[in-house]
């Protein structure tokens, strides 16, 4: 297992693979958490591009599919912790939708582990930065989104 | 660069933020790249966009008429979105055409060592915001008229205080209570901690003030039947219960209840005193009107009696009276429904000791009260003797997540100290004992108050829980553990007073459903934010005050009531309410009337018109969360300036 991973990793390193992550962050918690990472000058990889949603509950699963189809390597969805959603329960809606989406991705032969859903509050700047680092490392192991090459052909 | 069809022309500003952005992000490279981007009419950079001169350049651009939208690449929108949007209004551009690209907090500050990549990222961020921006529409804030009237539900000290504060500001207020009189629990108390001033003496003048205030309409003996509408425009149906007395005629002279032959235990006296079948709950009642309790009235039970009718000099008795529904329109609602005590029957391990001399705190208050059934003489309800040894047990039902309630009722430590003192003042040779878990006396002069009980009044405080109660002769035996000495303590008490936990008053569940507000895990009303919005609920226009929100003493209740009143006044001080226009709307052409969006909206903002088979969004209620958009299978639901097209175009520009 480990060897396999290492191999994969080595291969990617040699290709200088830098994964591209698109993040959908809710305005009230995770977007503010990302701001706090900035205010605290916590450094994290620049592989991420952030799109602001009013609430994680506004995440249309087609956004995620589109991101993957367009060839980005990962999608991070950030919302308020359970119970903290600014709109009462949008994050529960998000959780349900993302779970369903992941199953469908799997059924379609795509990799659901490219899609991360995390609850990150406005005070968790460090956790946000940590999540980005972790996700970049994970995606490096996983390698480029295979759909990218499909479209490239 | 030339503007593609149907796309707005965008002006772009890049802020250096001194060196905060400019030392990492290559401004020149950004400017060069973005100026080539489709639809970008111009791009300018400046040291500090938020400064006076920066704003001047910005406003000039707004006025120029050359552009339809502006993107400011700078710090986070949380900081200066409002600044730039305000400036745009001043310069005659619709504020919803201004967007911020966050290239400081989410770029230059987090990629110190990657200047090139940070520059690349800044360009990406800007492109995506330009994409969004040029699909933005001009929006105007939703405005709605507000009804400058308020309904306060519950007329305890919290509701009374809310009503007074609001009414004294000139706003018409309805004060509703299901009891015949206002006053709530405070009317039952004898003296109050930490000052030991008599409760009635401070409450009665307030009650009279409420009763006489020309802006307050009392609606006692009434309950909320149905609530519809929304902030600023609630319609409330109120059930006015049948008192079987014409209150317009009744002067509260009391001749009727002197004549009434039927005596029953009085709820106000916690069942240790008596009242008649026709009654006012207590002599100082406001309004001072009588009601007939038809469950006990002989006429209602047997068809004979009507002595009160004969006695009433004003002909006010009306056995034919029916309850009626009254409708009122208000702009805001305050819920101040207070508390009940946890039932002592629920404490299994004490049941063996239960008799008339094992009382809850409120019953003990009535026993202490100079207007109570014993005129304040402290005697045992069972045989009228003076109790010489009396045990107070704190935290009964509270702080016991396994068997009862998990929370601390917050006031029992204090009122138990008060009870011990009041007891000692009446029975100087008596011995009070207190079983406690620990003493929570946070509050101005509270700790000193408890110390006074311990030191001056020789109250014996025993740290530990009481395991059981049982009866022996005419005593109640209290078996407890002293956790400090590790010994078992057995006291043969003449009387036991249980500091029962506080619970939200009965019926709160149904009421909260009618009002579409939330209750917490313990049944108390939920505030919108525990720290920053303590008196608002998540339903706009509905507020909370007093023990309905959580257990608290009179001091905190009154403070919270003031806060709730000021929030209501803030709301109603505007002729019109303005509401963020980034709401959702339904494209009627596309809507198939499936109704899936309706259940997704947490604010009941969507309604299905059954006849037309189309959904409609009330933009006043819509908070703009966007949840409905995701559910709509036909793509009919869209959020203004957060359309699916906008997201798609942002994604395309980023990947
Ligand atoms: C034994 C004891 C002693 C106390 N001693 C002190 C003391 O010494 N000092 C102190 O500061 N505090 C003391 N308190 C606390 C004090 O009683 C409360 O802080 C205060 O009464 C809270 O006022 P309120 O208006 O929130 O609630 P309440 O007094 O409970 O008033 C609520 C009102 O709402 C009405 N209502 C309820 N539900 C509905 C409904 N669905 N529809 C219409 N009307 C409804 C009720 O009839 C009632 O009139 C004591 C409490 C207890 C139990
Ligand atoms: S955006 Fe949210 S609040 Fe507005 S109608 Fe849709 S679900 Fe309700
Ligand atoms: S507002 Fe953050 S998840 Fe809903």
All domains of chain B in start order, with CATH? 4-139 (3.40.50), 149-337+542-572 (3.50.50.60), 339-503 (3.50.50.60), 580-639 (3.30.70.20)
Kindly provide the residue ranges of all beta strands, DSSP E only, lying in B49-122, ordered along the sequence: 69-74, 98-102
Three-state DSSP state, B340: strand
Which of A32, A35, A101 to mutate to test binding with chain B, by most B CBs within 10 Å of its CB?
A35
C-beta separation of B161 from B202 below 8 A: no
Distance from CA of A44 to the nearest CA of B (A): 6
Whether residues B121 and A88 touch (CB distance < 8 A) is answered with no
Is A87's C-beta closer than 6 angstroms to any atom of ligand 3? yes
pLDDT at A148: 76
Asked if pLDDT for residue B400 goes beyond 60, the answer is: yes
Q: What is the ipTM of this complex?
A: 0.91
Is the C-beta atom of B624 inside 6 A of ligand 2? yes
A72 touches chain B (CB under 8 A): yes
Q: What is the pTM of this model?
A: 0.78
pLDDT given for residue B6 in this prediction:
52
Contact between B182 and B175 (Cβ < 8 Å): yes
pLDDT 10s digits, B134-180: 999 999 998 888 999 999 999 999 999 999 999 999 999 999 999 99
Give me the residue spans of the domains in chain A. Answer: 20-143
- Average pLDDT for B236-248: 98
B42: left (phi over 0), alpha (psi -120 to 50) or beta: beta
**In chain B, which residues touch A (CB < 8 A)?**
76-78, 102, 104-107, 109-114, 117-118, 120-121, 124-125, 128, 518, 538, 582, 600, 602-603, 623-627, 629-630, 639, 642, 644, 647-648, 650-652, 654-655
* CB of B574 closer than 8 Å to CB of B146: yes
* CA atoms within 13 A of residue B46's CA, in its CB half-sphere: 18
Q: Which of B149-163, B539-553, B608-622 has the lowest mean pLDDT?
A: B608-622
Of B94-103, B304-313, B461-470, B616-625, the range with the lowest mean pLDDT is B616-625
Lowest average pLDDT, out of A79-83, B185-189, B282-286, goes to A79-83
The confidence score (pLDDT) of residue B4 equals 45
Distance CA B360, CA B356 (A): 11
B226 phi-psi bin (left φ>0, alpha ψ -120 to 50, beta other): beta
Say whether pLDDT at A143 is over 50: yes
First to last CA, chain B: 22
- Site to probe by mutation for ligand 3, drawn from A28, A92, A119, A123 as the one with most ligand atoms within 8 Å of Cβ, is A28
| Chain B contact present for A149, CB below 8 A | no
Give residue B43's pLDDT band: very low, low, confident or very high (50, 70, 90). very high
Per DSSP, the three-state class of B257 is helix
Residues 6+ apart with CB under 8 A from B229: B235, B329
- Rounded to 10 degrees, what is the CA torsion of B408, B410, B414, B419? -70
What residue ranges in B3-112 does DSSP mark as E strands?
10-15, 40-46, 69-74, 98-102
The residue whose CB lies within 8 Å of the most ligand 3 atoms, and thus the one to mutate among A25, A58, A77, A85, is A85
Residues 6 or more apart whose Cβ sits within 8 Å of residue A74:
A19, A20, A21, A22, A114, A115, A116, A135, A138, A139, A145
Q: How close is the nearest chain A Cα to the Cα of B531, in Å?
A: 13
* Confidence check: pLDDT of A8 > 80: no
Question: What's the rounded mean pLDDT across residues B171-194?
Answer: 98
CA B642–ligand 3 middle distance (angstroms): 15
Pocket perturbation via mutation, ligand 3, pick of A33, A78, A80, A128 by most ligand atoms within 8 A of CB: A80
Which residues of chain B neighbour A52 with C-beta distances below 8 Å?
Answer: 77
**Contact criterion met (CB < 8 Å) for B106 and A71:** no
pLDDT at A15 over 70: no
In angstroms, rounded to a whole number, what is the distance separating the alpha carbons of residues B521 and B341?
A: 17
CA B439 centroid distance within chain? 28
Average confidence (pLDDT) over A124-150: 92
* Banded model confidence at residue B7, pLDDT cuts 50, 70, 90: low
Spacing, Cα B538 to ligand 2 middle (Å): 14
Distance B467 CA to ligand 1 centre (A): 29
Would you say A49 and B111 are in contact if contact means Cβ atoms under 8 Å apart? no
* Cα R_g (chain A), whole angstroms: 16
Q: Does an H or E element contain B339, and which? A: strand B339-341
**What's the pLDDT tens digit per position in B249-273?**
999 999 999 999 999 999 999 999 9
Ligand 2 centroid, distance to B597 Cα (angstroms): 8
3-class SS string, B449-463: HHHHHHHHCCCEEEE
CB contact under 8 Å between B625 and A55, yes or no, is yes
Contacts of B550 (CB under 8 A, 6+ apart): B410, B524
Residue whose CA is closest, atom 4 of ligand 2? B622
- CATH of the structural domain A20-143, one choice from 2.40.50, 2.160.20, 1.10.3470, 3.40.50: 3.40.50
Q: Which residue has the higher pLDDT, B59 or A6?
A: B59
Distance CA B380, CA A64 (A): 73
Mind giving me the DSSP string for B611-637?
TTTEEEE-TTT-----HHHHH-TTS-E
Q: Is the separation of the CB atoms in A74 and A135 below 8 Å?
A: yes
CB contact under 8 A, A38 and B106: yes
**Cα distance between residue B546 and residue B535, in whole Å:** 9
Identify whether the C-beta of residue B150 lies closer than 8 Å to the C-beta of residue B166. yes
Could you report the per-residue pLDDT of B345-367, keeping only the tens digit for each? 999 999 999 999 999 999 999 99
Binned at pLDDT 50, 70 and 90, residue B530 comes out as confident
Best B537, B625, B638 residue to mutate vs chain A (most A CBs within 10 Å): B625
CA nearest to A67 within chain B: B651
Expressed in angstroms and rounded, the spacing between residue B631 Cα and the centre of ligand 2 is 11
Name the residue at shortest CA distance from atom 7 of ligand 1: B192
Q: How many percent of chain A have pLDDT more than 90?
A: 77
């Amino acid at each position: 297992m480990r060897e396999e991973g290492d191999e994969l990793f080595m291969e990617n390193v040699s290709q200088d693979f830098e994964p591209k992550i698109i993040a959908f962050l809710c305005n009230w918690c995770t977007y503010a958490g990302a701001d706090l990472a900035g205010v605290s000058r916590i450094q994290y990889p620049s592989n991420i591009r952030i799109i602001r949603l009013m609430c994680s509950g506004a995440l249309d699963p087609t956004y995620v599919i589109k991101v993957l189809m367009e060839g980005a390597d990962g999608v991070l969805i950030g919302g308020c912790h359970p119970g903290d959603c600014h709109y009462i329960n949008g994050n529960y809606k998000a959780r349900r939708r993302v779970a369903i989406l992941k199953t469908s991705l799997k059924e379609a032969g795509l990799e659901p582990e490219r899609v991360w859903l995390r609850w990150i509050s406005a005070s968790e700047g460090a956790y946000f930065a940590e999540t980005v680092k972790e996700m970049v490392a994970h995606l490096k192991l996983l390698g480029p989104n295979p759909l990218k090459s499909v479209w490239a052909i | 660069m030339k503007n593609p069809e149907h796309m707005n022309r965008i002006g772009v500003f890049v802020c250096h933020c001194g060196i905060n952005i400019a030392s990492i992000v290559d401004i020149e490279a950004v400017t060069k790249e973005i100026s080539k981007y489709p639809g970008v009419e111009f791009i300018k950079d400046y040291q500090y966009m938020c400064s006076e001169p920066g704003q001047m350049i910005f406003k000039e651009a707004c006025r120029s008429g050359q552009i339809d939208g502006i993107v400011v690449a700078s710090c986070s929108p949380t900081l200066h979105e409002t600044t730039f949007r305000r400036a745009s209004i001043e310069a005659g551009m619709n504020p919803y055409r201004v967007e911020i690209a966050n290239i400081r907090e989410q770029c230059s500050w987090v990629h110190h060592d990657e200047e090139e990549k940070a520059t690349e990222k800044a360009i990406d961020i800007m492109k995506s915001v330009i994409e969004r921006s040029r699909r933005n529409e001009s929006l105007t804030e939703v405005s709605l008229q507000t009804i400058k009237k308020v309904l306060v539900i519950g007329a305890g000290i919290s509701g009374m205080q809310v009503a007074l504060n609001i009414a004294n500001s000139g706003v018409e207020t309805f004060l509703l209570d299901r009891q015949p009189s206002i006053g709530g629990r405070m009317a039952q108390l004898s003296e109050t901690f930490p000052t030991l001033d008599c409760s009635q003496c401070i409450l009665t003048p307030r009650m009279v003030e409420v009763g006489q205030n020309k802006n307050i309409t009392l609606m006692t003996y009434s309950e909320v039947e149905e609530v519809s509408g929304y902030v600023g425009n609630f319609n409330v149906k109120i059930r006015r219960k049948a008192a079987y007395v014409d209150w317009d005629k009744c002067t509260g002279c009391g001749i009727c209840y002197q004549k009434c032959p039927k005596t029953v235990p009085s709820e106000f006296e916690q069942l240790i005193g008596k009242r008649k079948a026709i009654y006012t709950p207590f002599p100082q009642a406001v309004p001072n009107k009588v009601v007939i309790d038809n469950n006990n009235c002989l006429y209602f039970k047997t068809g004979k009696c009507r002595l009160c009718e004969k006695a009433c000099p004003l002909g006010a008795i009306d056995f034919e009276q029916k309850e009626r529904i009254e409708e009122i329109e208000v702009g805001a609602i305050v819920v101040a429904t207070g508390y009940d005590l946890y039932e002592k029957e629920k404490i299994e391990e004490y049941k063996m000791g239960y008799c008339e001399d094992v009382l809850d705190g409120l019953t003990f208050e009535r026993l202490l009260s100079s207007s109570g059934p014993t005129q304040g003489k402290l005697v045992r309800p069972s045989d009228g003797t003076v109790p010489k040894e009396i045990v107070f047990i704190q935290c009964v039902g509270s702080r016991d997540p396994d068997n009862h309630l998990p929370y601390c009722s917050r006031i029992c430590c204090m009122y138990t100290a008060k009870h011990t003192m009041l007891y000692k003042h009446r029975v100087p040779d008596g011995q009070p004992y207190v079983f406690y878990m620990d003493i929570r006396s946070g509050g101005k002069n509270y700790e000193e108050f408890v110390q006074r009980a311990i030191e001056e009044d020789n109250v014996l405080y025993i740290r530990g829980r009481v395991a059981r109660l049982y009866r022996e002769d005419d005593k109640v035996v209290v078996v407890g553990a002293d956790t400090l000495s590790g010994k078992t303590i057995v006291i043969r008490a003449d009387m036991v007073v249980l500091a029962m936990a506080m619970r939200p008053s009965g019926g709160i569940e149904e009421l909260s459903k009618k009002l579409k507000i939330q209750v917490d895990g313990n049944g108390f009303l939920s505030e919108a934010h525990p720290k920053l919005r303590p008196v608002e609920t998540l339903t706009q226009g509905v507020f909370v005050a007093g023990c309905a929100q959580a257990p608290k003493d009179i001091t905190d209740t009154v403070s919270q009531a003031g806060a709730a009143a000021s929030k209501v006044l803030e709301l109603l001080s505007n002729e019109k309410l303005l509401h963020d226009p980034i709401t959702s709307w339904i494209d009627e052409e596309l809507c198939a009337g499936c109704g899936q969006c309706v259940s997704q909206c947490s604010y009941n903002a969507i309604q299905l018109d059954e006849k037309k088979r189309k959904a409609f969004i009330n933009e006043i209620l819509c908070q703009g969360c966007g949840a409905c958009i995701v559910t709509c299978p036909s793509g009919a639901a869209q959020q203004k300036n957060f359309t699916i097209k906008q997201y798609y175009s942002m994604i395309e520009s980023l990947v």
